[in-house]
Amino acid sequence: MILITGATGFLGAELAHQLTSQGLQVRALKRETGIIPDLLKGNLNLEWFTADINEPATLEEAFAGVTQVYHCAAVVSFDPKDKAKMIHVNIEGTSNVVNLCVEYGVRLLHVSSVAALGEPKKDQEITEDDYWEYSPHVHTYAISKYEGEMEVWRGISEGLNAVIVNPSVIIGANAGYQGSGALFKLVQEGLSFYTNGSTGLVDVTDVAKCMIQLMNSTLEAERYTISAANLSFKEMFGQIAEGFGKKPPSREAKPWMLGIAWRAARLASFFTGRSFGITSDTVRSSTSYSYYSNKKIKDTIGINFKPLDESIREVCAALQKNHS
């Protein structure tokens, strides 16, 4: 039996879809408040199991008869208000999953993040040999993913059979306007500014494919960056605008302008109680030049990544169809 944590999430749902499409039986973890995605409704090869990775007693019951675990559950946020939640789920929850995998001799594939690979390096690609180093500027999400990954390495030192993946920004039609989909929504609504920075992107279908191939290999105690290509934010927003038939952002948002914006948003949040999505962490991320190498994963499993312009067009078409 295959177990997936975070199966109601964007990546977990795609992974469950691909595995069950191969005729495999999958046990999918969901919390009591979790909503089953449309992609997985009516799937006869899927067994939904209600449990919480932060409640070891219920989580242990989900491990009955399991031989493989894909750990996708995580909180992704750049909002300082979510710090406690990220530490609770991304670190403590991962520790619980690792402990049970060690106890039951289960193979684990852990989904980390490029955020755990460290800070951007000037004019250089970040590889799997790069490690996060403490900095007062590092955001809580990066810390939580790094520390969560350290729990997996701790398990490996205790005999755990595991492999780790570090995806870059994951895009796909089923994200809707959540996560990376928020970037598409900004452009669709008429974004006029772009920031000087860059990041790696990858289609969700490719991430799931890589995970399945790595899980079914004999590889262990290795980490793999999963990223199709690197794009500047200007290029990315331009391609998204083209997909929506919109005018691309043409004005550069200077760092001092963004600094004013996040402070204004913070003040507004104080008075209204609403989060406005602009924080010092998002400003710093949007002005950093991050380049990620995909050489190791390509050399290991020979994957040919879907071109990003194709993925972006598909996402734009789906959003227009679903929200018209």
Tell me the whole-structure pTM to 2 decimals: 0.89
Answer whether residue 160 is part of any domain: yes
State the pLDDT at residue 76: 83
Answer whether residue 48 is part of any domain: yes
State the pLDDT at residue 283: 39
Q: Classify each residue of 281-293 as buried b or exposed e, where b means 16 or more C-beta atoms within 10 Å of its C-beta.
A: bbbbbbbbbbbbb
Answer whether residue 217 is part of any domain: yes
E strand or H helix at 209? helix 204-215
Answer whether residue 322 is part of any domain: no
**How many folded domains does the chain comprise?**
1
What six digits make up the tokens of 324? 């018209």
* 8 A C-beta contact, residue 124 and residue 291: yes
CB atoms within 10 A of CB 141: 23
Residue by residue, pLDDT tens for the chain (324 residues) are 999 999 999 999 999 999 999 999 999 999 888 889 989 998 999 999 999 999 998 899 999 999 999 999 998 877 777 889 889 999 999 999 999 999 999 999 999 999 888 777 767 888 998 876 766 667 788 889 999 999 999 999 999 999 999 999 999 999 888 888 888 887 888 877 777 778 899 999 999 999 999 999 999 999 999 999 999 888 988 898 999 999 888 877 655 343 433 333 343 333 324 443 444 444 345 556 789 999 999 999 999 999 999 999 999 999 988 765
Answer whether residue 38 is part of any domain: yes
Domain that residue 216 falls in: 2-173+203-228+292-306
Answer whether residue 183 is part of any domain: no
Q: Where are the alpha helices (DSSP H) in 22-139?
A: 56-62, 83-86, 94-104
Q: What is the CATH number of the domain that holds 69?
A: 3.40.50.720
Answer whether residue 137 is part of any domain: yes
Beta strands in 240-312 (DSSP E): 251-252
Largest CA distance in the chain: 56
State the pLDDT at residue 131: 73
Answer whether residue 54 is part of any domain: yes
Which of 213, 239, 243 is closest to 226 using CA atoms? 213
Please state, in angstroms and rounded to a whole number, the distance separating the CA atoms of residues 130 and 151.
Answer: 18
